[in-house]
Amino acid sequence: MISSITDVAGIEVGHCTDARRPTGCTVVLARGSAVAGVDVRGAAPGTRETDLLHPAHTVERVHAVLLSGGSAWGLDAAGGVMRWLDEQGIGLEVGPARVPLVPAAVLFDLPVGDHRIRPDAAAGYAACQAASRQAPQEGNVGAGAGATVGKVFGLQRAMKGGIGTASITVDGVTVGAIVACNALGDVIDPDTGAVLAGARSADGLHLLDARRALLRGEVARSVMAGTNTTIGVIATDAVITKAQAARLASVGHDGLARTINPAHTMFDGDTLFALGTGESGRSPGLLALATMAAEACALAVVRAVRAARGITVDGLQLPACGERA
């Protein structure tokens, strides 16, 4: 059985993938609302409503999180998520009004195909319409549709990234994660240390191992800040506070660091959200939840590249894990 973030009670996921070029968005819905936190670890993020999630700020709960391609343009898709939630009567009651709260993060996929095609409000709305408790598709879909990995030595030597999901259940409490991996660095198998997908040799036929290449003095190609980024959502059915949600988002980055190298660079905007639905009515304690969160994120990153499929767009060839260049 495939584990996924939708194993967490109260969580639904929907993708919208644009058939005109590899891009799209993914929504994680918590119709009953969820306690939320965030940790922005990369130096070049594209986000919305992250200040809302600071533990010292007033609002405790949100109704959805959006992950999107399209760089800053993709933040528009959150408006569509808000509109869909509003039509369902979901939102924070503020006097006579109801305001759906939808934090969001984006990744940079504009070089893959026609950059003028980006997720918009209609895409966010469509992702909500597609949302369900079923295990979501992985690989070249939603926010992972245009994702790439291993760009340290240029996009021409990169490989296809994607979106992946996983969950872990311990003693009746579940923690799940969904991650769209668009990293500058390579993706590593945390159990073996082997490179699964990443920068390729100059002839494109072999994996280079970017970490070792950098350490022996090979010069990285000039990279613009913000042109990468791994984004994701951690969710649990445990009972947690807003401060604990922020801590889960923080330790989730440990999972990214185990599976992406180099990670959290000045060229990435790595951002993780955490949601707590509380539907299990229990909590095993923050140490156990943190361990589960980091592990779920690591598994989701590996699944993202293993589920990806190679593409060729406008002469740019991006092979996937397990495929020859």
Domain 5-318 superfamily per CATH: L-amino peptidase D-ALA esterase/amidase (3.60.70.12)
Proportion of the chain above pLDDT 70, given as a percent: 98
Cβ–Cβ < 8 Å for 91, 210: no
Write the CA distances from 325 to 113, 144, 159, 310, 321, integer angstroms: 19, 20, 9, 9, 10
Rounded mean pLDDT, 124-128: 98
Instruction: Kindly tell me the sign of the dihedral angle through the C-alpha atoms of 222, 253, 54, 127.
Output: positive
Domain-by-domain residue ranges, the chain?
5-318
SS3 percent helix, strand, coil of the chain, rounded to 5, is 25, 30, 45
Its pTM surpasses 0.85: yes
- The whole-number pLDDT of residue 65 equals 98
> What pLDDT band is residue 44 in, cutting at 50, 70 and 90?
confident
**Centroid of chain to Cα 75:** 14
> What pLDDT band is residue 286 in, cutting at 50, 70 and 90?
very high
SS3 168: strand
- The whole-number pLDDT of residue 325 equals 47
What span, in angstroms and rounded, lies between the C-alpha atoms of 169 and 176?
9
Encode pLDDT of 217-268 as tens digits. Answer: 888 876 766 678 999 999 999 999 999 999 999 999 999 999 999 999 888 8
Cβ–Cβ < 8 Å for 138, 303: yes
